[in-house]
Chains A and B, each alone.
Chain A
Amino acid sequence: MWPRLMLVLSLSITLANEAGAYTAYVSNEKSNTVSVIDTNKWEVVTTIKVGQRPRGIAYTKDQKYVLVAVGDDDTIQMIDTGTNQVVGTLPSGRDPELFIEDPDGKMLYVANEDDNTVTIIDIEHRKQVGDIQVGVEPEGMGISPDGKLLINTSETTNMAHFIDTSTRKVVSSVLVDARPRFAAFKQDGSELWVSSEVGGTVSIIDPVKRVVQQKIEFKIAGMRPEPIQPVGINITRDGKTGFVALGPSNHVAVIDGTTHQVVKYLLVGQRVWHMAFTPDEKYLLTTNGVSNDISVIDVTSLKVINTIQVGQLPWGVTISQH
């Protein structure tokens, strides 16, 4: 017992010494690979072959695995973060795209685009334990910080469905603009942000009243509204700054978390969809599908400081917590 604890302690000291050295995993939808990036060097250190059409990707809470939804294989693969090998699968149901873990790291909620369902998986036992009927083409998944409310967005129904995780029932459905893609809570649970790709807006929803309080609209100088298509949303832990990936407009919008006004537009690679912070929130990585690269945004200076080539059509990204 004691030696093991000592080992853990010394390990964390070593990691702390290499400040900012995290690992990022990027799913490449077209290549059927996952690129592994060292955030100290900003380099791809290895590339992992995975199943067909990898999209949604996330670390498990215990950091042992990176889960990647391989939609055309109708499963979620588990990559062992120690060996970078695919070591198992989770029974996700048909065509999984995005998923989210509950705060305890026990349950995984998966959007099955083809089935109008959200599948619930017990991660430890790798078993399906239920499913929930939602609207047409479920996609975005969010969970409240206390784990009590699960959010699913359905792309053709154009709703954010509020699901009570204890009863596994839809308790409210809030209409948002066309083709909602992503849902993210503020860390204090006070706001839910939902992006509408075709509608071109982000709805700020009050999770208690379950109504849209405000809509963020985007205007980029010299650009027609059509390519401005919000998808990924990442909000800093203090809730003060939000980032919204604007798809084929090749920009990320920086939002003031309090006023919900756009502060700045950052030019990144082509067709930017999903993003992830490093745990210290110094950097934000964006996946740029058409230019096959990752942009690195310095969160303090709000500048793009690096670009990393990955596989074809990078889709999602997840970063280790230590």
Chain B
Amino acid sequence: MIRAVFVAFFFLCAVLQPARAGEPLKVPIGYLARSETVETISLLDQPAANNGTAGAQLAIQDNNTTGSFLNQSFSLESIRFKDEVDPASALMQLADRGVSFFITDLPADALLRAADAGRNHGLIFFNAAATDDRLRQEDCRANIIHVAPSRAMLADGLGQYLIWKHWRRWLLVVGSHEPDKLYAEALRRAAGRFGAKIVQERVFEDTGGARRSDTGLVQIQSQIPLFTKSAPDYDVLVAADESQVFAPYLPYRTSEPKLVAGSAGLLPTSWDAAHDQWGAIQLQNRFGRLFSRRMTALDMQAWTAVRMIGEAAGRIQSADPRKTFDYIKGPDFALAAFKGRKLTVRDWDLQLRQPILLADGRLVVSVSPQEGFLHQYSELDTLGFDRPETKCRLK
């Protein structure tokens, strides 16, 4: 009897205590990144060594603040490997240490190799970097959630705004590298969907050479006007140059006084260092205090991915990978990420629904979806590949 009362008392205490006693629930999260030297035209675009991982670290800290009330503890294990290393081996190093959730900053093929290697081990991937539409379409996987917006979403976000402005005539300039061509494809699709007219396409060949050189400006000032000369009349020059070969040279140097958008000028993105709406200033401040630099789109995508795991683990009181993953994909999941509305996951391709910011390098000019682009389910589904268009068969 006395013992029963004692046990009951013990349970009562356990229920009432703010942070349950005992070992916290441990949730280790892996971060896989391919170390690459990124060449940029502007010095301001040079990524920091901790680009991406810094965002993940801040989210770990945020998750742990919440976790202190739920007796949960999150940690980050990050591996940055070289091009020649098989991503699967880096992955297994962490999986052997009990990591089931992986944030990835990997190109499409490396991500697919890692995801396929992790499939039989029940590993779950959060694509924080690759924008390739094929990862959401024919090459989609049942164990990859796409936190990064796709090229189609970025192009649609930009396209809607240009249409809203009645800037319907686009001169499309495409770089000669594969990612540039893929981005151009997304921009063409956006033009077709929303009623813009591509008056002409031009290809800017990358002839090699350094991104920067002393006295290079003299040449560029005469090259760009020549390159953009004698185009049919247009409203906006839309550039597809993910490889950063020419686009940042376009503003103020076109033959005619024209606006630039796409890979320079007005940029569609998931995040911008100047974004301060919907409480974003608080996240920007936290990030700045911790890392003494501005928060990039990759940082934000990694932050979002880690927060998705934290949010799910907090709600279901479990770090079981299957349960967590099911919750994230399910109807009850919603993440607040300073974009004015909740972010949820599309069940047909596991893409995170999200608004697209349009930034000019100093400020956020607008946020898409734009007014008037309606949808029967969610206006966010006017961005990217919607359910009826999907080629994804999740497996």
List B residues at the A interface (Cβ < 8 Å).
16, 18, 62, 65-66, 69-70, 279, 282, 285-286, 307, 311, 314-315, 334-336, 340-342, 375, 378-380
| Given A113-B282, A226-B341, A226-B378, A171 and B336 contact (CB-CB distance below 8 Å) | no
- Cβ B279 vs Cβ A155 within 8 A: yes
Residue of A nearest to B374 (CB): A224
Nearest CB of B to A200, in Å: 7
A135 part of interface (Cβ distance < 8 Å) = yes
- Cβ B282 vs Cβ A137 within 8 A: yes
- Cβ B334 vs Cβ A114 within 8 A: no
- Cβ B62 vs Cβ A136 within 8 A: yes
Contacts of A198 in B (CB 8 A): 334, 336, 341-342
- Cβ B334 vs Cβ A178 within 8 A: yes
Of the 9-residue stretches A60-68, A157-165, A262-270, which lies at the interface with chain B?
A157-165
Contacts of B375 in A (CB 8 A): 224
- Cβ B342 vs Cβ A199 within 8 A: yes
Residue of B nearest to A162 (CB): B18
Nearest CB of B to A148, in Å: 15
- Cβ A136 vs Cβ B65 within 8 A: yes
A170 part of interface (Cβ distance < 8 Å) = yes
- Cβ A137 vs Cβ B279 within 8 A: yes
Known: A158-B66, A224-B379; 5 extra A-B contacts, CB below 8 A, are A156-B66, A158-B311, A177-B334, A224-B375, A227-B341
Nearest CB of A to B330, in Å: 14
Complex: A232 Cα to B333 Cα, angstroms: 23
Contacts of A154 in B (CB 8 A): 66
Contacts of A227 in B (CB 8 A): 341
Contacts of B340 in A (CB 8 A): 248
Complex: A159 Cα to B314 Cα, angstroms: 10
Contacts of B378 in A (CB 8 A): 224, 226
Complex interface bits, A143-169 against B, C-beta within 8 A gives 1, otherwise 0: 000000000001111110100000001
- Cβ B18 vs Cβ A175 within 8 A: no
- Cβ A173 vs Cβ B282 within 8 A: no
Contacts of B311 in A (CB 8 A): 158
Complex: A156 Cα to B287 Cα, angstroms: 14
Residue of A nearest to B376 (CB): A224
Complex interface bits, A126-143 against B, C-beta within 8 A gives 1, otherwise 0: 000000000111000000
Complex interface bits, A103-139 against B, C-beta within 8 A gives 1, otherwise 0: 0000000000110100000000000000000011100
- Cβ B334 vs Cβ A199 within 8 A: yes
Which 7 interchain pairs have the tightest Cβ spacing?
A: A173-B69, A198-B336, A157-B66, A179-B336, A178-B336, A198-B342, A226-B341
A172 part of interface (Cβ distance < 8 Å) = yes
